[in-house]
Amino acid sequence: MERFVKMNEIFISKSSEVLKTVVGSCIALCLWDNNNRIGGMGHIMLPESNGDRTAPPGKYADTAVAEMVSKMVFHGGCLDNVVAMCVGGASMFSNHSSRIETVGIKNYRIVKRELEHFKIPVITESIGGTTGRKISMNCREGIVTISMLLKSVKKPG
């Protein structure tokens, strides 16, 4: 069975469900507990909540990671076994120079900071660039597949 993880959503599963999503500037964060065979995916939109308590916790990097960890533990996961995979943070239409941090890269930086807080190692990452990414995660096997378009992007002038 497949489930599409929408923007701001978090989904954790112990079954052979395949979680998938598409990200551009957002970050798809996958967590995997190999011993207990629990996987989860979050589709994180923005870096910091700045006290916004009305938003779903999956929306901001600083609240999403804690929420995902808490849900992994609730489903029987053990924090010591959990590893992370980060995908996304592209800058597809950005005119910013490389010295200015884009939303995508800021998202990634806060996700990393929060993962370090929980001592969760990042074992795979595919971050930045100018293309979107399609991600799927088999929650029983912990297999994450990332596909991105090989393309050239042209800007006039």
Partner 1 sequence: MLELETTHHVYSVSECAEFENKMNRLFTNSFQRAVESLSQLLTREMLITKIRIGRTQGDLYINQLEGLIEENHFSSLIKVHSYLDTFILLILPKEEGEQLYHILNGRNQADRFPDQDEVIDSIGELNNIVGLTFVNALANTLGKAINASVPENTFDLLGAVLESVVLQKELINRDIVRAEAEITDVQDPDFNVRLVILSEQTRLMEVLSHR
Task: State which of residues 37, 71, 112, 133 lies at the interface with partner 1 (CB under 8 A).
Answer: 133
The total number of residues written for the chain in this structure: 157
What is d(CA 95, CA 39) in angstroms, rounded to the nearest whole number? Answer: 36
Structure tokens at 11: 């989904």
Check residue 103 for interaction with partner 1 (CB under 8 A).
Answer: yes
Check residue 121 for interaction with partner 1 (CB under 8 A).
Answer: no
Map residues 17-56 to x or -, x wherever contact with partner 1 holds by CB under 8 A.
-----xxxxx------------------xx-----x----
What is the closest distance, in whole angstroms, from the C-beta atom of residue 127 to partner 1 in the complex?
A: 14
Check residue 81 for interaction with partner 1 (CB under 8 A).
Answer: no
* CB neighbour list of residue 14: distance below 8 Å, 6 or more residues apart: 36, 37, 38, 75, 76, 139, 140
Check residue 10 for interaction with partner 1 (CB under 8 A).
Answer: no
Is 26 known to be catalytic?
yes
Task: State which of residues 69, 90, 120, 139 lies at the interface with partner 1 (CB under 8 A).
Answer: 90
* CB neighbour list of residue 135: distance below 8 Å, 6 or more residues apart: 20, 21, 22, 23, 28, 30, 41, 87, 144, 145, 146
Task: State which of residues 8, 29, 68, 137 lies at the interface with partner 1 (CB under 8 A).
Answer: 8
Are the beta carbons of 77 and 33 closer than 8 angstroms?
A: yes
Are the beta carbons of 134 and 87 closer than 8 angstroms?
A: no
Measure Cα distances from 60 to 20, 30, 103, 104 in Å: 19, 15, 12, 12
Check residue 99 for interaction with partner 1 (CB under 8 A).
Answer: no
Check residue 63 for interaction with partner 1 (CB under 8 A).
Answer: no
Footprint of partner 1 on this chain (CB under 8 A)?
Answer: 4, 6-8, 22-26, 45-46, 52, 59, 90-95, 103-104, 130-134, 149, 151-157
